[in-house]
Structure 1
Amino acid sequence: MRDEKDYDDIPGTFVFDADRSREGYHLNQFCISLRTQKAREAFKSDPEAYLDRFAMTEDQKQAVRDRAWNRLLELGGNIYYTSKLAAFDGITFQDLAAMMTGVSRDEYRDMMLHGGRPIEGNRSKSEWEKK
């Protein structure tokens, strides 16, 4: 269980800090393992047996099964490692980012080309409460 951090108030963001790193260690080991062909073949042929090789929590395993991308980050996944799972599914990083932000690929690309999300209304969850 993580201690509450000041930056937990950032909307839509799961900061990959030391606590999340410890929480997600086995999840990230699973994800990074998918960089090898042998591991991808093993995961494809028997996903449950392959998941059982890693000491992940049941919530982490379910997030993998569901491809719940934001939940993976919340449970300690590092975006660069979890993107290996997306690549396994044939999802590009740009498409993954679009999915995680709830917009289309073109909308995501346009947003990034124009400086990303606006600052106003996205600094803290408390700003949302004021509206």
Structure 2
Amino acid sequence: MTAPRDIQAYLAEFDDIPGTRVFTAARARQGYWLNQFCMSLMKDENRRRFRADERAYLDEWPMTEAQKQALLDRDYNRAIDLGANVYFLAKLFFTDGKSFLQAVGTMTGMTADDYQAMMIAGGRSPEGQRSIREGR
């Protein structure tokens, strides 16, 4: 009989993939209120309140200061590192008048047109750095 695999160790292996953030149960717990804030933006009244005073609206949510700052800075990658789910963040993209393509393009450091062209061509090349830890 094989010993059961440590699920936490297994999930930690995903952190070694450059540019990849897997939305694990731990990230979901960490980002619960951040994602609830994003979901609140589905209501027009909340979008208007947020646009009127972003900081005041964010302060109504029990998020960490780092999470709030990531949202204020529109640093989507940092927000994901702090527990956001990209599909919840889409509510913020749309509140800002950005398409998913435009927002995700900024997360890669590419223009929306360059990102779209890359994706139409089949996505990122499998060549290049495949492991942060091993530097290869």
Show the counterpart of 2:4. none
Distance in 2 between the 1:65 and 1:15 partners? 23
Query: Aligned residue for 1:18?
Result: 25
TM-fit CA distance, 1:111? 0.7
RMSD: 1.4
- Please report the TM-score for the alignment, with normalisation by the length of structure 1: 0.90
Cα deviation 1:105-128 (Å, max 9, x = unaligned):
11111110111001122432245x
- Residue 52 of structure 1: CA displacement? 1.5
Query: In the TM superposition, what are the counterparts of 1:1-131 in structure 2 within 5 Å?
Result: 5-126=12-133, 129-130=135-136
Rg comparison, structure with higher value: 2
TM-score by length of 2: 0.87
Moved more, 57-66 or 112-121: 112-121
How high is the sequence identity, in percent, across the aligned residues? 49
Unaligned runs of 5+ residues in structure 2 are: 1-7
Structure 1 spans left out of the alignment, 5+ residues: none
Q: How many residues align?
A: 127
Structure 1: 4+ residue segments shifted above 4 A:
none
CA deviation map 1:3-36 (0-9, x unaligned): 7601100101111100000000000000111011
